[in-house]
Amino acid sequence: MLIAGNWKMFKGPAAAGDFCRALRGASFPDGVDVVVCPPFTSLAEAVQVLAGTDIGVFAQNCHWDTEGAFTGEVSAPMLRELGVYGTLVGHSERRQLFGETDESVGRRSRACLDAGLHVIACVGETLDEREAGKTGDVLRRQLAVLEQDDNLVIAYEPVWAIGTGRTATPEMAQEAHERIKELIDVPVLYGGSVKPENAAELLAQPAVDGALVGGASLDVDSFVGICRAATPS
């Protein structure tokens, strides 16, 4: 069971350090792996504070080339040099706001895996796509660019549930995760307004292997509560 906290564009180095020091003192259930995903400026601080613990530090994005004229991007070797363990790719906000495509998600994922990073690749449908009955088609298209790998994890994040307060029912999450696992045999996290109040029911679903947590991961007590709600099988 994996619980990953995506901090998005929150917490500079000072705030990240305070959070990670508090997180060091928390206890987690056996079989629950914990990851934080700070913004780029806070990665080094998080790595330093969490050194010697089992808590992993992931980036939020990574380019497919090792170096070059790509202003504003960072590469897998740069992340590895910092001590970063893995990265998110293809988050719905990257797709919606910054022109990320299925093809670029596939390239980012493959490059990071080849460089030895772990990858959480995000997939999910919009509200219009769900209401049109296209969830399966969207997931099939998004997963087609990803290759089986021991270090790959998928995060199913229905776009209509990201930062909206709306959450897929446990049954909806289970159904989507089953569809994903029919297409690729890797762990699948649920992401979409996961909170301490709904985490236990979502994480108890047989096909749900953890959670990608957004806003609720910004508060230590909230994030730890979600981690403790995990029920490893």
Cα angle value 98/102/106 (rounded, 5°)? 110
Mean per-residue pLDDT for 50-77?
Answer: 97
- Phi, psi dihedral angles at 30 (to 5 degrees): -60, 140
Beta bridge partners of 153: 120
Q: pLDDT value at position 233?
A: 59
Question: Would strands 188-191 and 33-37 be described as parallel, antiparallel, or unpaired?
Answer: unpaired
Yes or no: say if 58 and 85 are a contact pair by the CB < 8 Å rule: yes
Q: Looking at 164-168, 176-180, 206-210, which range is the least confident one?
A: 164-168
Q: Which of 63, 100, 157, 177 is catalytic?
A: 157
Question: Would strands 56-59 and 33-37 be described as parallel, antiparallel, or unpaired?
Answer: parallel
- Tens digit of each residue's pLDDT (9 = 90 or more) over 67-113: 999 999 999 999 999 999 999 999 999 999 999 999 999 999 999 99
Q: pLDDT value at position 232?
A: 66
Type of residue numbered 118: H
pTM above 0.85, yes or no: yes
Mapped onto helix, strand or coil, the DSSP state of residue 162 is coil
Positions of E strands within the chain = 2-6, 33-37, 56-59, 86-89, 118-123, 152-156, 188-191, 210-213
The answer to whether residue 118 is catalytic is: no
Which pLDDT band, with edges at 50, 70 and 90, does 163 fall under? low
Mapped onto helix, strand or coil, the DSSP state of residue 17 is helix
Q: Which of 45, 63, 91, 100 is catalytic?
A: 91
The answer to whether residue 63 is catalytic is: no
- Tens digit of each residue's pLDDT (9 = 90 or more) over 30-48: 999 999 999 999 999 999 9
Mean per-residue pLDDT for 47-75?
Answer: 97
DSSP 10-29: ---HHHHHHHHHHHHT----
Q: pLDDT value at position 178?
A: 96
User: What does CATH list as the number for 2-229?
Assistant: 3.20.20.70
Q: pLDDT value at position 181?
A: 97
Domain-wise residue ranges, the chain: 2-229
Beta bridge partners of 57: 36
Q: pLDDT value at position 110?
A: 98
